[in-house]
Structure 1
Amino acid sequence: METIRVIIIDEQPLFREGVRATLERMGDCTIVGESTDAADVLEIARTGNPDVALIDAGLTSSDPLEIARQARHIAPRMAIIILTPSEDEERLFQSIKVGAAAYCSRNITADELMDAVRRVSHGEYLIRDDVLSKPQLASRVLKSFREMTVEEEEGETKDPYSPLSSREVEILDYIARGNSNKEIAKSLKISDQTVKNHITSILKKLSVNDRTAAVVHALRHGWIKMHEEEREQR
């Protein structure tokens, strides 16, 4: 049984204690660090080989989204769960931009927290459900995603030569459609682990840190296309 390695970044000692106790009940989870200091968190991300980071969106000592962004740059396969004190579409939008995998209320139950940690550690992207339930936010995310794919210079020539295999391009296309690893595995009739292996290979070949950056890179080079109509129908 693989151990899920977790960082807890929260200013309230009692809340941290509750989160730690909850995750330790899972049996396959270990806490590799707790801190609210940005430098400490990044050092843990660098040395602790974390799978998941739980980050309090209400941090006052540091910028939680900047911590998330820098931590994922250091540990690109680490999944981020943003814990928020209240529903806030702007904070959700910014969480998406830094690559968070889940956006949960601090009122989350113990069972819900354990489920979220386990699922994001397996490569699932839970934040998509929050986006799809808010049409205006979904439109904003789509617009931002489109802007990220605009060429730096108008008329720049696309590069038809991809370092990716046909299967890797196919997987990137599924990611661009908003599919989770499990959904991709089901559609392609392969295992979740095979999908994760392909994504790791994609990130390495493209020298990028996360799925979104890989999709943007592929879009810019014309290897896949933006599925605008399908996204807007959701």
Structure 2
Amino acid sequence: METIRVIIIDEQPLFREGIRVTLESMGDCEIVGETTDAGEALELVRKYNPDVALVDTGLTKSDPLDIALQARYLAPKMAIIMLTPSEDEELLFQSIKVGVAAYYTRYIKPEELIEAVRKVSQGEYLLNGNVLSKPQIASRVIRSFQLAEEEEPPQNNDSVPSPLSSREVEILSHIAQGNSNKEIASLLKISDQTVKNHITSILKKLSVNDRTAAVVYALRHGWIKLEKQA
């Protein structure tokens, strides 16, 4: 059993203690560092190359989104879970843009946090189901993909052939349109698990850590197209 290495970036000592006790109860999770400081957080990432980072969105002396962005640059395979005092659609959107794997309020139950850490450590992306189902967020994400496509024209398909199967391209196109796993499964008449398996394969083939990066990568190479929004 491989150990899941986790760092905690949170300003409240009592909350950090609660997270640590909860995750250590898993038996295969090691807290390799705790901090409230952005510089120290990035140093922990460099030193330990953790599998998961839990980031408090309520940090008062550091920008949690900036920490997430820089941390993912240092450790592209590390998954980030944002913990927020309350739901905030703008922060949700910005979290998607920087590649955060999961986003929860600080009222998350211990068993839910354990499940989330396990899933994101295995490369799962838990934002889609509860974020892209919100029409306003979905439309903004799609628009951001379109802007990325417009700013950087697709590369020559002949020079960069797609490593994806036709089914994977189909699924990635649905992701780009804001569809959740369940919606994709229903549209393609396949199981949720089959969709998850295809997404895992897509991320591995493209050497990216999240769906957003996969969609933008495919758009820039001309492998998928987006329908223009009215």
Whether the TM-score (by the shorter chain) exceeds 0.5 is yes
Q: Report the equivalent of 2:157.
A: 160
Q: Report the equivalent of 2:203.
A: 199
Q: How does 1:15-94 map to 2 (within 5 A)?
A: 15-94=15-94
* In structure 2, distance between residues paired with 1:7 and 1:40: 11
Whether the 8 Å contact between 1:79 and 1:101 is mirrored in structure 2 is yes
Q: Runs of 5+ in structure 2 lacking a partner?
A: none
Whether the 8 Å contact between 2:8 and 2:54 is mirrored in structure 1 is yes
Q: Runs of 5+ in structure 1 lacking a partner?
A: none
Q: Given the superposition, is the C-alpha separation of residues 133 and 49 from structure 1 closer, same or farther in structure 2, using an over 3 Å criterion?
A: same
TM-score of the two chains, using structure 2 as the length reference: 0.82
Q: Over aligned residue pairs, what C-alpha RMSD do you find?
A: 3.0
Q: Deviations over 1:145-173 (max 9, x none)?
A: 21122144xxx574112254244x75465
Q: CA deviation at 1:212?
A: 2.4
Q: Deviations over 1:182-229 (max 9, x none)?
A: x8x96896995x9657634422xxxx6654234212212212223679
Q: Given the superposition, is the C-alpha separation of residues 227 and 114 from structure 1 closer, same or farther in structure 2, using an over 3 Å criterion?
A: farther
Secondary structure in structure 1 of the residue aligned to 2:212: helix
Q: Given the alignment of the two structures, is residue 123 of structure 1 paired with residue 120 of structure 2, yes or no? A: no
Q: Percent identity?
A: 57
TM-score of the two chains, using structure 1 as the length reference: 0.81
Whether the 8 Å contact between 2:20 and 2:31 is mirrored in structure 1 is yes
Q: CA deviation at 1:62?
A: 0.6
Secondary structure in structure 1 of the residue aligned to 2:150: coil
Q: Deviations over 1:75-106 (max 9, x none)?
A: 11111110000111111111111111111010
